[in-house]
Amino acid sequence: MSLRDQFTAQMKLSMKAGDSARTSTLRMIMAKLKDTDIAARPKGIDKVADEDILSMLRGMVKSRHESVALYRQGHRPELAAKEEAEIAVIEAFLPQQMDTAATEQAVADAVVETGATSIKDMGKVMASLRARHAAALDMAKAGPLVKAKLSG
C-alpha cells in the first residue's frame, strides 16, 4: 500500500473514530502532499514518489520540533503539546530511525567503503550514507559523526 493510500485509509479511520486532532493532522499532511505534487508539475511529474513523500514528512517533523522548542521558550506548553501530538501522527508514517549505535556503525562502514581519509572526503561519505540509508538515517545526526570520524 502506497503512502498516499495509507493517508486516505487512516483519514477514514480517524474520522469514524471521532479523533479530531488526528484527522486534522492527516488533513494537513494531505494538503502538504498536494502542494508538493503541484510544485513538481513543472518537472513533468504528476504525483511525487514515496521517497519524496518521506522527505516531505521529515521536513514537517523538523519544523514541528523547532516550533516545540519555541513554544517551550515562550512558556506555551499547550501549543507545544499540540505540536508533539502532530509529530507523533506524522512519524507513524516514517520508517524506524537508526539508533545511535547503528548510526555510528553505518558511518564507520561508509568511511571504509569510500576510502575517506580527511575532512575533504566528507561529501563522498555523506553521499554514500544517503544512498544506502536515506530512509532510516537522520542525516543531521550523521554529519557531526562523519566530521568527527574524519577529523581525528
How many residues are given for the chain? 152
Please say if the pLDDT value at position 152 is more than 80.
Answer: no
Please say if the pLDDT value at position 100 is more than 70.
Answer: yes
Residues 11 and 68 placed together within one structural domain of the fold: yes
Q: Each residue of 108-150: pLDDT tens digit?
A: 888 888 888 888 888 888 888 888 887 777 777 888 888 888 8
* Spatial contact of 146 and 107, defined as CB atoms under 8 Å apart: yes
How far apart are alpha carbons 119 and 46 in whole angstroms?
40
Please say if the pLDDT value at position 73 is more than 80.
Answer: yes
pTM greater than 0.75 (yes/no) = no
| Structural domains in the chain (count) | 2
Residues 141 and 73 placed together within one structural domain of the fold: no
- The domain of 23 spans 3-91
Name the amino acid, one letter, at 145: L
The residue to which cell 524506524 is assigned: 96
